[in-house]
Structures are given as structure tokens and as C-alpha cells.
Amino acid sequence: MAKVAVVGASGFTGGELLRILLAHRYVEVEIATSRTNAGEYLHTVHPNLRGLTMLRFEAPNVDRLTRCDIAFLSTPAKVSSELTPKLLETGVKVIDLSPDFRLKNPDEYRRWYGWSHPHPELLEEAVYGLPELHRDRIRSARLIACPGCTATAAILGLAPLAREKIILGDYLVVDVKIGSSGAGLSRSLSSHHSERANVVRPYAPAGHRHVAEIEQELERLGNPVRVGFSAHAVDMVRGILATCHVYPTRSLDIKDLWRIYRGFYKGEPFVRFVRDKKGLFRYPDPKAVVGSNFCDIGFEVDEHTGRIVVLSAIDNLVKGAAGSAVQCMNIMLGLDETESLRIPSLHPV
Amino acid sequence: MAKVAVVGASGFTGGELLRILLAHRYVEVEIATSRTNAGEYLHTVHPNLRGLTMLRFEAPNVDRLTRCDIAFLSTPAKVSSELTPKLLETGVKVIDLSPDFRLKNPDEYRRWYGWSHPHPELLEEAVYGLPELHRDRIRSARLIACPGCTATAAILGLAPLAREKIILGDYLVVDVKIGSSGAGLSRSLSSHHSERANVVRPYAPAGHRHVAEIEQELERLGNPVRVGFSAHAVDMVRGILATCHVYPTRSLDIKDLWRIYRGFYKGEPFVRFVRDKKGLFRYPDPKAVVGSNFCDIGFEVDEHTGRIVVLSAIDNLVKGAAGSAVQCMNIMLGLDETESLRIPSLHPV
Amino acid sequence: MAKVAVVGASGFTGGELLRILLAHRYVEVEIATSRTNAGEYLHTVHPNLRGLTMLRFEAPNVDRLTRCDIAFLSTPAKVSSELTPKLLETGVKVIDLSPDFRLKNPDEYRRWYGWSHPHPELLEEAVYGLPELHRDRIRSARLIACPGCTATAAILGLAPLAREKIILGDYLVVDVKIGSSGAGLSRSLSSHHSERANVVRPYAPAGHRHVAEIEQELERLGNPVRVGFSAHAVDMVRGILATCHVYPTRSLDIKDLWRIYRGFYKGEPFVRFVRDKKGLFRYPDPKAVVGSNFCDIGFEVDEHTGRIVVLSAIDNLVKGAAGSAVQCMNIMLGLDETESLRIPSLHPV
Amino acid sequence: MAKVAVVGASGFTGGELLRILLAHRYVEVEIATSRTNAGEYLHTVHPNLRGLTMLRFEAPNVDRLTRCDIAFLSTPAKVSSELTPKLLETGVKVIDLSPDFRLKNPDEYRRWYGWSHPHPELLEEAVYGLPELHRDRIRSARLIACPGCTATAAILGLAPLAREKIILGDYLVVDVKIGSSGAGLSRSLSSHHSERANVVRPYAPAGHRHVAEIEQELERLGNPVRVGFSAHAVDMVRGILATCHVYPTRSLDIKDLWRIYRGFYKGEPFVRFVRDKKGLFRYPDPKAVVGSNFCDIGFEVDEHTGRIVVLSAIDNLVKGAAGSAVQCMNIMLGLDETESLRIPSLHPV
């Protein structure tokens, strides 16, 4: 029975970690920290946990955390880069859900995040927590850097093409649509229901920080690109759809795509292909993955333009955050990778 | 390993039955029927089941159904009253989610549904499938009549008061708010997204058929009432809130209510009390039960008027239909009543 | 050309006042105040006004306000009770959208709002700004106290019955459903899109302050009552439905109700009756009034219980606030009462 | 007082035409046709028109239509191509909102719509009803072909760049997000609220018919392109955002873009530029145009990739259909182009 801590447990991602970990048969949630809610029952903040646990939030404290085997850090940027070295030193493994260890090149932190990384020596050791790409390294990792939510959708959608060097790197467009939980619990006006309902808000037409990690991972697969990335807030609570518009380096038809994608994701427990002739859900749609750890991937060839359209849908809080993190933990602990994650999505919802 | 069939498996309730039953450790889904979708994979209609089963819909056929131990009937009114006797005859137990066996008095079918019941002899045998009220009779039942979704919310909210004869029977108001999945898959204009979004539509200010079963059950508890019932469609997919406005026969304070409710529901696995001093979810809210089998109950005393307000929230497709049905099945099979139902709700969603 | 000011112009109600007043042919918006947004163009906060005006917010300043003929106060409770006497003194008429002058009896402020009214001498002079009840007094008023939004819906729904003394005062239930704009721009967690979407949140099962003004107005019509009032937040931006459950003092049928309601509201430009045999919108629904100044009223007799159900739907920001306020202004200025308010609602929206 | 008819008046677009035309000071709605609803009051279908007109739907009849000066055809594809010649022959001018006369080249109908155009001789005469591009020809036209709703958004967003030949024609991506009213009133499962809420459904990743008219219009401006067009259904009732990802033929900065866009749309009454440093609505968002005839346009330069992102937001039922059609009518009648269209959008909604 591994002991785990959730640091920053009162946010949406923290809540999802708790939901999944409390139902996990082989781990015990020892600590859930929250500065604001210290002393309160988890269900005060996460009403879905009512009746399922009597655990309470506690204030964060490094000494207490060292009692755990694994700490999930669901903390704001720059917090985990300070906390992580302390935990690693005492033998606690870290699964970091913040952006602090995702990029290999410290210069990229300066460029995209505007700060100097305080522990660049850990960047190379940190493993980018996408099991579909880095399963072997995750197994023995001390430090996992979980991907950004939109990056997860984009990378899983594009990785098979990247390994085949199919993406024309100068003209890659990734157009992302995301639900309100992606912005976290911040009480900004932009999250006010009256201002957030019924929007298609292009909150980052250019310059989104996840570009850095998408480019890093696609390059590691052999296909350097510059991503023309635009992110839009749409009216849903959970979910991401990444629409990837790819101009290919060579001509491909649908059969080629099926072969490439099937080959790449053979045996993956949480990647599903969605490209049907019938039904409402013929292509990936975040609605069909809400609450699950699945990444649904589909594709189309636009014969008019030669463009390949890759569609990739995830629940931003699950496969885009907590679910992927637990999947990494399962791998690190030598457990069945799907433990506590075999939950179908809800439909309709 | 009990074998089960879901008859009418392409609807929303059918989909929920499949979601829960496919994950159940002690039953096997043998048959899922659908006239329209016969031959197709379940995930064509229920995208959340993609990758979880290779089962296909088949056309309904009584002979095939007799291979099962239990048949769930998620069929329109009047279908199951014809099918049920045939199934019972061959030893198949029936869990009926239609209204066909809910009422004890055949006259009430004439009055509320406008038709003569074809098998009144089965009405007395049928057990009203609310475990919190009829657990013992469910255990040995051949035929379960699952409650209407709004009736579940109202009855569970009011039962503790009814047993104490606290409800002034002439002035009981139940004001219900329900999501769009409650109307089923019918392609009527009233379900069109553009016409259904942003509504508070009083679709049944009076005359709702669930009144009959609510009054039946409250009377059996000792408190005859006439329910002033009004139902409103609101903009959500899942969920019911029943706001019960009760004028009491004697004066009660909050402590009395806690005592009465705690006593009545002691040990119930799927009833939670929600009445907090802090937090956003201080009272029951369907948002907090989405995807779960919980019924959240709360109450307030209006000192200005003497009125007691009882709030009862469920997911109409789970505790209001499929979840309750599986809970009954678990009881009938002698299993842990919570088997396959210990799924927390999603939050936020 | 009357000169008007909007004090507190950056909120939702302030925005609606500006939308309506900027399009008004006989008034000129001279001043729009906002502490937070002073110096900015109105469209920074109200994107719908982009391109329609070059006016900017200015910081509130009493001296500046005295240049106007009429000041609309869209300020938090307790602000306008201080500001109003100063404005009246200089001859500026005040249309107050806060609760500060709605109640006639100063004791009621202590009871429902918990504070001593600083200017009780103005309470009797203030006219409750519901043209359908107080048109004559509005004409010559210096100070208008605009009703609370849920009170508008409830009072307009019940007034015809009250004048006939039909409401059994001890058993009157008003069950209200309201959209997110009703809570204003406050950045509380309860307004966060992820926490506010898909709710039916009983935020005030008892104890809502609007009870005081509803009871005051119904009593003035001759029918003292104690209102069993419960308010629920539902997932829409604009709109209120008040479902009024009335147990009558004498038996009435539908024809009686038509006669009573038609008689009471004869000639009213902004009251519509909705009770059809066909169509989706057979009863009042806030969806059908969004953006308009209409109050849609419908009713039903529940033959099973004798209960009368009165349904009353408004746009909380228009008929529930800014629209009604401008209607009062039109009356005060001797203009056509519907000036700048003859805008049909949007459908679908 | 021009007499107008709305043919196909029971749909969403028909309803919007009626809303705008009934409030128009210089035209009279003589006829509103609907096969299904003949004989019924308009408000049975369009609840927002209740109390504003006593007009009833009538069955379509060509002889009756000849009494009008102008007929708006809001009919399904292939209907207006039959009806239009008959109307033109009798001197009735036609404003067609269907796709039947949008394309100049009859071969394109075979290619994109799969049918042979029955009256190719009218294609050249028909004027593409986008005032911003074809105002002069609209003035004297007998036959207006109103643009497709997503085409309006895309063309208005891209036209200024196209006239400057800035768009690299092989790599133009237009990623569209649209609300549920865009699919019309069809009672398909895809429009069912439970299936349509919370989606980001890529219903046309490639092959959308509006591509043909977008390419036609951009080519006429001097910039031939092949549009990589993908359309997504999102959870809102009204609105379109077109995100246009443009790789430019020459390097441009923000100032260049301002100059190009300002120059192109100088004096246009319904084009607004949205690119602010502050506020929630810094870029175009359909939420900010709901109910209005505005097209909001914004742009960004992605320095990382050289890409230009053009954002274009409209209300699909207004600027994307009925509003633009009335704008054309105003021009044809020699009226102020903004007559009956100066309605600000609602905010928030």
C-alpha cells in the first residue's frame, strides 16, 4: 500500500486526483494539502467526495510530506520547482502537474515563461509524463513532469505522424477548444458564469506556453515543427478538442493513416480511434470522454486541399491532468497501468 | 455469474444500465435489444462504451430473453405490461423501469394513464423498487417496478416526514426541476438544443403522472396527502431537484428534522445529508450527484411561515432509473447492495 | 432632452440601463460612473456597446451628478440611502435600483436587512416602481424604489389574485428559478462557470429578503400573506421564473382566472398572457422574454388539489431591473411609456 | 411602404426576418408562409413575437406572393431555384437565403451540392448579398443570393487580406465554431439537447459546402486560395467564430494589419474591430454580437510562426442570415442601410 500526498488538493485537478486515488486499491491518500481550506473536510470543496472519506485538508508542510512515497504536486507554476528538490532529497517521488519540469532546455523557460529555472539540473532527469511516449522511462523515474492539458491532446494526436516525419513543419495549425475547468478555480471575471457562458473566446490566438512542449516532443519524435497554436474557451466545463490541421510532406490516404495510427498506438489502453460511418459520435468529441482517461483520436483527409485533419479529444482534468498522473504512478509502482482508471465516461452529460 | 438482458437498450436509461452492468463483477450482459439499432455495436449509440465491449444490439425476441436470469425492461409505457407476464412464466425475473407496474390500484392507471391495465393481477405482486422503503420485499421479488425519476426524488425527500405523519396533506407542494435526459431520446422540437437551452419550462404545472405513485407511497407510510406537483425543465442534461414545501402538522425545529432523517435513513448506502454551514454545496444540488447513485437530502425550517423545505437531488438516469434498478438487482441476487454502484459523481461537470 | 446619469454603470444592471438609455430618443446619458473603470470606454466592460458610444466611465461625484435631471442608482445596498437625500436636495430625481427605499416600514429593514435605515423619513415618499401597480404615483414622484427582480415576477403574478383576496395567506408558496446574472458581477466562487453550470442550487430555501416587499405589496392590494419563498439558481444567464403555488380562498376555474387577470392588466403594454393549447411555449418561460421588458404570465388549475399555479417569467435585467426603471422614467417624463422598450426578445437564444 | 413576404417563415431564419421586418418603419410584412403551421399565429412558433403582431402563417402560394415587392426565401436548398424565376417574371424581387444562387459557376453546384442547377442563366445575374463587397450591384439587383453563415464570417475576416493578395493560397486554414441554431429546426438526434450540450463536435472536418463560395469571393478579390475548412458544433444557441489561420505571402506587422483592415472597411456600419489591451472581450467573440448585425473582426500576428490569425464573429441568424438580408433590402429600397438593424447585442446573454 503506497502512501501518497496531494499537494494543492483544493483545486479542480486536486479534486480529480482525490477522486481517483481514494478509489484506488493499492494506494492510500495520506495527505491532502490546502492553505485556504486547512482543517475542513474534503467534501466542503469537492462535493462529490461527500460520504466517501473523512479526510481533511491540512496546511502544506514539507516534513509531513516526507511520510509519503509519492507526492502529486498540483501547485501553481514556480512552486513545485522549489518544493521538488526538497522532496526528492528525502526519497519522496514527485509527480508534478505544474509546468515546472516539462521543458528540457532551461532557455525555453526564459522564453515562454519569463523566468530563470531555479533547478535546471533536474530538467534532464524529469520524465515527460506521457505514458504513450515515455513508458519505459516513467517506470524508473523519480520525477514526472505531467504534460499541459492542451499539449496532451495535441501531442497524442500528432505523434504518429511526427514519427513518420509527415508534418510539414512550417504550416502546422493546432486549433484548440477548451472548457472552463481548464482555467482553474481563479475567481477572475473571465470565469464568471454570465461572462463565460455561450462564448467562443479566443483567449490565446498566439503565444500559448504549451507550444514549447508540443514542439519539444514532436522534435524528439523526429519531426521538428513550429506550431501555429490558437486556443479558444468554449461553453462546457470539462473537455478539450484539438483540431490539428496538417499539411503533409507526402501524399497519404485514409488507409495509410489507419496503418500509421494503429501501429503507433497498438496496445495502448487509453487511446481509442473514432472514425465511424454512422452515429452521432463519428469523430472525437470531448463530450464522449468526460470523466474518463481516454484520448479519442480521429482523422480525415481533405481531398480538396491535401490537408490532413487530426482530431484529438480528452477530458482536461483526467487524461489532461489527474488521470495521466495516476497512470504514471501505476507504472512507477509496477501496477496494472489502468488501475482505478477503467471508468467509462458518462453519456449523455 | 447471473445473466442479464437490457430490453430497450438504445435509450438513455438503457445506456446507463449497460454502463453499470458491463462493469459489474457478478453479472454478464447477455442481451441488449434495440429495434432501430439491431446489429450495431453498442458504442454507435453510447459513445462512452467504445472500447469496453464488442456486444451488439439485437432485435427484441422473447425466446432469446428466456436465456437470462433477469431482464431489465427499459421500454415505453404499455410494452412491459405485455412482455412481463411472458418472461415471468419462463422464470425470468423482471426489473421494469417503465410505469406499468408501479401503481397498486388498477383504477389509478385509468385515471392517470388513461388505459386499463391488462394484467392487474400482477400489480399486487410487483414490488415498488425503492430499496430504502421496500428492501425486504425486493429480496424475494420476481417483479420489480422501478419508481419514476421525479417520484424517487420526492418520495425519498418526504418519506421520513410521512412516517411521522408530519405532512399537512392538503398543502403539500413539490416543485421539481429536471434535465433534458429526463425526456428521453424522442426527437421532438421540445428537445431541440436551440429550444431547450436556457429554459425554465413549466412542462407540467399540474397533472403529472408521478403524483399517483408519490401519493401511494406516502400513504403506505401513514401520511395520506394530495401532492401539488409542478415540473419544470431546466438547462442541464442530467439531474433532478425536488423542492418539497411542507406545512407541518406540528411544530418542528432543525434538531427534530436531523433526528427524524438520521433515524429513517440509518445505514442507507446511497442517501447523504447535505446541510452545511460552509461551502458552495450547502444544500442538495443535482450537480453534486451527476453520475452517482446518491440521493442528497437537505432541509430547512422557514421560521417566517412555519414551512419546512425539503430538498432532494438525484441523477435522474442513475438513482432515478438505472442505478436504483441495479441496486434492486444486487439485493435480489444477495450481493453487496453497492456492487458496481460505488462510483463518486464527477465534479465539476 | 432630459439628462440622465447612471451611477454604478459597470455592473450588469448598469449595462442594461446604458443599452436602453443610449437608444432612447428623448434622453441623453450624461454620466456613467464606475470607481473601478473610471476613464475607460463603456465597451471595455459592456462589449455590446462597442461602436455605439464614445462615452467613458467617470468616478462618482455628487456635484457632477447635479447636472442631470434624473439619476439611476445601480449601487449596492446602503449606498443609495446615503446618496439619495443629497441628490433630491439639489432637485435631481432619483430612480433607485437598490433595495434601500422599497420597504415602507423602517422596522422591516432591521428585520430583513439587519440595519437601521438612515433616512426613514423618505420611505413613505418613495414610490415602489412597479408601473402596473403605482403608475399614478410614479408620474409625480421624486424618488422611485425599483422592485427586486424576483419580487417583480412574484408580485405581477399574484397581484390580480391578491386584489380579489383569493390567496389563502398561510399556504402561499413561491418557488423561484433565476439565472446567473441575478447575482451580479461579484467574483465569488459560486459564480465560477465550472461551479455554476448545470446547477439547480437552492441558494435561499428560506429567508430571502424579497419576501418583505412581496408581502408589503400584496397586503396593500388587500390580501395579507406570509410567503413561503424559495430561490434556486439555474443554468442560464438571464431570466426568472416564479412558480406561485396558491391555495385559493374560494373555488375558481380557468375562466374565472382569465377574467381576473385580463381585467387587472387591461391595457398594460408589458404584460402578456401565455396559456396556449399548442406550441412549445404554452406557459411562461424566461427563454421567451430574454432581452425584452415583458412579463409573461400564465396559470393553471390543479383539479386534483384545488391549487392554482401561477407562472410569471421576466428577464431579470430588463423587466426585473433596467427596463422597469426606464419605464418609470418614461412615465415621470410624460413620454410614451414604451419609449425605447419596444424591443422584442430574441428567439432562440 | 414596400410590401414583403417571408417564404419559409417558421424556421429560425424566418423568425429572425420577421422580428426585424415587423419593427421596420418602411416595409410591411404582407405574407409569412409555412406549410406546417398554416393558419396559426406567428407567436405559436416564435414566442418572442407574441403581442407584437396578429399575422398568421399561410400556406405558400405563388399567386399570393406576386402581391409583394420583395420576397425573402428562407427555404431549403433546391426550392428557391424553382420558385425564384416565377417570382422574378412577375416583377417580385427576390432575396434568397438558400444556397441556390450563390455560386457563379454551375459546375460548382454539381461538385459541391451534387445537383445540376435548373436555372444557370440566373447565376450571373444574382448578386452575392454581402454589402461590404457588392453594395453597388445590390442597389439595382433583382435577385440577391445571401451568403452562407460561416462564409459570411470567413469572407469578411479575410477579404481585406485577399484584396492585398496576402494569403498564401495553399495553406489557408479556416476553423469554424457554430451554435445549434445553425443547423436549423431539423429534429435530428444531433440537435437533441442531451446530445448537443457540452459538445465540440467536428461535424465537417473537411468537405463543407461553404468552401465553394469562400473561394469564389476571395478569388474575385484577387487572391485565389484553397480553403482548409473545418466546422465544429459548440454549445451555444447563436453565433459563429471563424478562426482564420493565414500564412502571409509577405511579412506584416500589427500596424500593417490595422491599416489594411481600417482601409478596407472604412465607413462600414456593421463591421467593428476588436483588438484591445484590456477587458474580457479583447478579441471577437460571438457572445458579444448575439442579436446584432455586427461582424466583429480582430487579428493577431504570431511572431513564432509568422502566421496571421484573423478572428471573425457574427450572430449566424442576424449578420449570417436575416440581418444581412434586410441590409440588402434597405440598399435595394434606397433606405438608410441600417434601418431596423441598429439594435445592440445583449450582454451578458
pLDDT for position A187: 79
Distance from A149 to chain C by nearest Cα, in Å?
17
Nearest to C288 among D48, D181, D238 (CB): D48
pTM of the model: 0.98
Q: Is C250 on the interface with A (CB under 8 A)?
A: no
Range list of H helices, B124-275:
131-139, 149-163, 193-196, 210-220, 254-264
Closest CA to B20 of B287, B238, B339, B320: B339
The residue-averaged pLDDT of C314-318 equals 98
The amino acid occupying position D329 is: M
Distance from B277 to chain A by nearest Cα, in Å?
10
Chain C residues with beta carbon closer than 8 angstroms to that of A198: 237
Q: Is the pLDDT of residue A25 over 90?
A: yes
Distance from A185 to chain C by nearest Cα, in Å?
8
Summarised one tens digit per residue, pLDDT across range A303-340 is 999 999 999 999 999 999 999 999 999 999 999 999 99
pLDDT band at residue D187, thresholds of 50, 70 and 90? confident
Summarised one tens digit per residue, pLDDT across range C154-202 is 999 999 999 999 999 999 999 999 999 999 988 789 999 999 999 999 9
Q: What are phi and psi of A283, to 5 degrees?
A: -125, 165
Residue C161: strand, helix, or coil? helix
Q: Is A46 on the interface with B (CB under 8 A)?
A: yes
Q: How far apart are CA D278 and CA B148, in angstroms?
A: 51
Nearest to B19 among A40, A50, A344 (CB): A344
pLDDT band at residue D170, thresholds of 50, 70 and 90? very high
Per-residue DSSP letter, A48: G
Per-residue DSSP letter, D345: P
Q: Is the pLDDT of residue A42 over 90?
A: yes
Contact A304 D173 (CB under 8 A): no
Summarised one tens digit per residue, pLDDT across range A252-296 is 999 999 999 999 999 999 999 999 998 999 999 999 999 999 999
The residue-averaged pLDDT of D257-268 equals 98
pLDDT for position C187: 79
Distance from C342 to chain B by nearest Cα, in Å?
22
Q: Is B338 on the interface with D (CB under 8 A)?
A: no
Question: What beta strand segments (E) does A13-121 contain?
Answer: 27-33, 70-73, 93-96
**Mean per-residue pLDDT of chain B:** 97
Grid coordinates given for B118: 391488462
Chain C residues with beta carbon closer than 8 angstroms to that of D346: 19, 48, 238, 290-291, 346, 349
Q: What is the bridge-based pairing of β-strands D93-96 and D27-33?
A: unpaired
DSSP letter for each residue of D290-334: TTS--EEEEEEE-TTT--EEEEEEE-TTIIIIIHHHHHHHHHHTT
Chain A residues with beta carbon closer than 8 angstroms to that of C188: 187
The amino acid occupying position D149 is: C
pLDDT band at residue B187, thresholds of 50, 70 and 90? confident
Q: How far apart are CA C55 and CA D200, in angstroms?
A: 38
Q: Cα A107 to chain center, whole Å?
A: 23
Strand order in the sheet with C93-96: C27-33, C2-7, C70-73, C93-96, C143-145, C127-128
Burial of residue C73 (CB within 10 Å: 0-12, 13-18, 19+) is buried
pLDDT for position D186: 81
Summarised one tens digit per residue, pLDDT across range D28-53 is 999 999 999 999 999 999 999 999 99
pLDDT for position A100: 98
Chain B (180-199) residues lying within 8 Å, Cβ to Cβ, of chain C: 189-190, 194-195, 197-199
Share of chain A above pLDDT 90, in %: 98
Contact C342 D23 (CB under 8 A): yes
Distance from D13 to chain A by nearest Cα, in Å?
20
Contacts of C136 (CB under 8 A, 6+ apart): none
Cβ pairs C/D, distance under 8 A:
106
Q: In 10 A of CB D259, how many CB atoms?
A: 12
The residue-averaged pLDDT of D185-203 equals 94
The residue annotated as part of the active site, out of A68, A149, A244, A295, is A149
Identify the H or E element spanning D44: helix D42-45
**Mean per-residue pLDDT of chain A:** 97
Contact D347 C51 (CB under 8 A): no
Grid coordinates given for A168: 510539414
Residue bearing cell 462600414: D268
Q: How far apart are CA D314 and CA D296, in angstroms?
A: 7
pLDDT for position C268: 98
Summarised one tens digit per residue, pLDDT across range D136-151 is 999 999 999 999 999 9
Decide if A149 is catalytic: yes
Chain C residues with beta carbon closer than 8 angstroms to that of A197: 180, 193, 197, 235, 237
Share of chain C above pLDDT 70, in %: 100
Chain C residues with beta carbon closer than 8 angstroms to that of D44: 276, 278-279
DSSP letter for each residue of C164-227: TT-B-GGGEEEEEEE-GGGGTT---GGGBHHHHTT-EEEEESS--THHHHHHHHHHHTT----E
Q: How far apart are CA B107 and CA C98, in angstroms?
A: 54
Q: Is A284 on the interface with B (CB under 8 A)?
A: no
pLDDT band at residue A62, thresholds of 50, 70 and 90? very high
Contact D193 B188 (CB under 8 A): no
Chain B residues with beta carbon closer than 8 angstroms to that of A347: 15, 19, 46-48
Q: Cα C204 to chain center, whole Å?
A: 18
Summarised one tens digit per residue, pLDDT across range A97-135 is 999 999 999 999 999 999 999 999 999 999 999 999 999
pLDDT band at residue C143, thresholds of 50, 70 and 90? very high
Q: Which chains touch D (3 or more CB pairs under 8 A)?
A: A, B, C
Q: Is A238 on the interface with B (CB under 8 A)?
A: yes
Contacts of A248 (CB under 8 A, 6+ apart): A161, A166, A167, A168, A306, A308
Domains parsed from chain D with CATH numbers: 2-125 (3.40.50.720), 150-314 (3.30.360.10)
Q: Is B253 on the interface with C (CB under 8 A)?
A: no
